[in-house]
Amino acid sequence: MNTPFDLDTSEPRRPGLVARLRASFLTGLVVIAPVGLTIWLIWSVVGWIDGFVLPLVPQSYHPDRMLQDFLGLDPSVQINVRGLGVVIFLMFTIIVGWMAKGIIGRSLIRFAESLVERTPVVRTIYSGIKQISETIFAQSERSFETACLIEYPRRGIWALGFISTTAKGEVAEKSDASDEMVSVFLPTTPNPTSGFLLFFPKKDVIELDMSVEDAAKLVISAGLVYPSDRPEPGETLDITPVSRD
């Protein structure tokens, strides 16, 4: 008769065949899913761009038509060749960007924008799309460069944010004059495009060594994906609260 204090010396039960197959399937799914979704997304985007650009190209210059003529295949044989539309789109975009940097290009853009600003509905749509494009693609000092930790919504609770700029103008003048104020964007999980704009004294913000990309992954994954240099189990992060004296 065994008592509750007896040690269980029996060997652990090995998982059955179904359990091992299920574990192998889930492991393979974790490996295949990101690769498959990435390939599918790239293939879909390339096809979408080709479908938009290729109708503007003469039929005789389509890659599938040129390949059919080169191989001497019957026109009824369909060959799906993707990528020419992407190449044309990239070249066209580079040419437009190069022209926009010149004096004539800037003058034409200002003239076109002045016409758009006079159109009631179009100016709202154009201004919104322009702001989004500048935020995503423009390389300027407004981009997030540093991830940080702040105590929010109360002391003892830490939140991950992004330092955007130093507070300027009326915000800096009418806030805490004893220390420099910085604006911090606090993203939401799992959608980091929405969040809160907070202003903190610089002494209350702890800058992190992790990159902005790693911090964004941490936010999107709800804390499941840490940077590669995260501490091993048993180690602790040295986060010393800042004194508010």
Q: Would you say the pTM of this structure is higher than 0.75?
A: no
In whole angstroms, give the CA distance from residue 188 to residue 176.
26
In whole angstroms, give the CA distance from residue 35 to residue 38.
5
In whole angstroms, give the CA distance from residue 240 to residue 74.
73
Give residue 213's pLDDT: 86
Give residue 50's pLDDT: 79
Give residue 9's pLDDT: 55
Q: CA separation (Å) from 27 to 13, 19, 40, 182, 228?
A: 21, 12, 20, 44, 20
Query: For residue 67, how many other CB atoms are within 10 A of its CB?
Result: 13
Tens-digit pLDDT profile for residues 98-121? 877 777 777 877 888 788 788 877
10 Å CB burial of residue 148 (0-12, 13-18, 19+) is buried
Q: CA separation (Å) from 93 to 80, 88, 149?
A: 24, 9, 39
Q: Tell me if residue 72 falls in helix, strand or coil.
A: coil
In whole angstroms, give the CA distance from residue 171 to residue 169.
6
Mean pLDDT, residues 16-25: 80
Give residue 205's pLDDT: 93
On the CB side of 227, CA atoms within 13 Å amount to: 13
Q: Which residues contact 185 (CB under 8 A, 6 or more apart)?
A: 144, 161, 162, 164, 195, 196, 197, 198
How is residue 31 written in tokens? Answer: 């490996």
The values of phi and psi at residue 185, to 5°, are: -95, 120
How is residue 141 written in tokens? Answer: 């000092």
Q: Does pLDDT of 11 surpass 90?
A: no
Tens-digit pLDDT profile for residues 135-190? 556 554 446 778 999 999 888 999 999 998 888 888 888 887 677 888 899 998 88
Tens-digit pLDDT profile for residues 48-94? 887 887 777 777 777 777 777 777 666 666 666 677 777 877 888 88
